[in-house]
């Protein structure tokens, strides 16, 4: 009898597209299995309040995790950046398919690059990390907090009363919206969120049958990058309002990991980098956090 696996996804256009990408890979890897989709509305999708008021990290995953634990679904597909640092008891990160472009992208009226924006330009973002790094590069900018799906934010940044917005390049790529990108923000000066551009497939711990299915689409270097970044997040601490960032890159079995913690106004930015064997991803994440804490990062952490 064909094994039937139910995947859970948020209902946004991007979330469904990303889950479809995962299911396509699973169907190719395991043609004898049957895969179905169950759409679940997350708290973060229901509310229009700023993420800081409704809980920040976790508001896009809690309902999916509850459905997993209740055995209503067999696996959940998340944007890895939405996962809290601590994995929910009873669940595991089973696989990370190959990661997309982790950079942030600038979307502006007239497709102007950051340096060409007018003095006092109004930039929209709901991310303290993006806001702090924007202000570090352009202290004159006025940051406006915005919410909404990708299409809504693009519209606000190109046709609304803002001069621009910053979005994850991966989301724009997956939605076929490359043409709105004015410039990419390179990680050397603008680090992405932990797990940005990676998809995380979560299953129940101990569900070996589903784990064996999901592992068929795991991309080990991408998993190692995400594991290192999440280890950094856990070791550093700080809440969803702390401007922090981290990016791992694996090449030839080596992992390079860069991290950043900043003040909300971007006036103080601490950076560090470590490198080592990719198999030591967890330890490298802790070491990077330790380097930043030694520089005084604890003073910048917001609960």
Catalytic residue from among 82, 104, 163, 207: 82
Say yes or no: 83 and 59 in one domain. Answer: yes
Structure tokens at 110: 């007239």
What's the domain range around 272?
220-303
Active site annotation includes 303: no
Residue that the structure tokens 């003040």 belong to: 263
Q: Could you read off the pLDDT tens digit of each residue along the chain, which spans 303 residues? A: 567 899 999 999 999 999 999 999 999 999 999 999 999 987 656 545 555 554 555 677 999 999 999 999 999 999 999 999 999 999 999 999 999 999 999 999 999 999 999 999 999 999 999 999 999 999 999 999 998 899 999 999 999 889 999 999 999 999 999 999 999 999 999 999 999 999 999 999 999 999 999 999 999 999 999 999 999 999 998 777 899 999 999 999 999 999 999 999 999 999 999 999 999 999 999 999 999 999 999 999 987
- Helix ranges, the chain (H): 13-29, 43-46, 51-54, 62-69, 128-137, 150-158, 169-174, 208-214, 220-236, 281-294
Say yes or no: 241 and 202 in one domain. Answer: no
pTM above 0.75, yes or no: yes
Contact, 30 vs 5, CB < 8 A? no
Burial class (CB in 10 A: 0-12, 13-18, 19+), 103: buried
Say yes or no: 214 and 225 in one domain. Answer: no
Residue that the structure tokens 């913690």 belong to: 261
Say yes or no: 6 and 90 in one domain. Answer: yes
Residue 148 lies in a domain: yes
Look up residue 77 and give its DSSP letter.
E
Total tally of structural domains belonging to the chain = 3
CATH number of the domain where residue 23 is located: 3.40.190.10
Per-position DSSP letters for 14-41, written without gaps between them: HHHHHHHHHHHHHHHH-TTSEEEEEE--
CATH number of the domain where residue 259 is located: 3.30.160.40
Say yes or no: 5 and 30 in one domain. Answer: yes
């Amino acid at each position: 009898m064909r094994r039937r696996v139910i995947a859970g996804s948020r209902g946004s256009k991007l979330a469904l597209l990303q889950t479809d990408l995962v299911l396509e890979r699973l169907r190719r890897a395991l043609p004898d299995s049957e895969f179905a989709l169950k759409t679940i509305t997350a708290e973060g999708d229901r509310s229009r309040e700023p993420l800081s008021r409704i809980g920040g990290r976790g508001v896009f995953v809690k309902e999916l995790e509850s459905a997993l634990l209740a055995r209503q679904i067999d696996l959940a597909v998340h944007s890895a950046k939405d996962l809290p640092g601590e994995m929910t008891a009873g669940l595991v990160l089973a696989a990370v398919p190959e990661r997309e472009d982790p950079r942030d992208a600038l979307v502006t009226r007239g497709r102007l690059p950051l340096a060409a924006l007018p003095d006092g330009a109004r930039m929209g973002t709901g991310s303290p990390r993006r806001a702090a790094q924007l202000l570090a590069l352009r202290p004159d900018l006025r940051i406006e907090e915005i919410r909404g799906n990708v299409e809504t934010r693009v519209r606000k940044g190109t046709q609304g009363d803002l001069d621009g917005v910053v979005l994850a390049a991966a989301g724009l790529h997956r939605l076929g919206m490359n043409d709105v990108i004015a410039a990419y923000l390179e990680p050397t000066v603008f680090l992405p969120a932990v797990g940005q551009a990676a998809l995380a497939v979560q299953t129940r711990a101990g569900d070996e049958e589903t784990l064996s299915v999901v592992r068929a689409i795991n991309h080990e270097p991408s998993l190692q990058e995400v594991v290192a970044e999440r280890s950094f997040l856990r070791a550093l601490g700080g809440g969803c309002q702390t401007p922090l960032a981290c990016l791992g890159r694996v090449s030839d079995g080596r992992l390079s990991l860069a991290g950043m913690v900043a003040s909300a106004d971007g006036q103080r930015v601490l950076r560090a980098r470590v490198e080592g064997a990719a198999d030591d991803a967890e330890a490298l994440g802790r070491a990077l956090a330790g380097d930043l804490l030694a520089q005084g990062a604890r003073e910048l952490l917001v609960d």
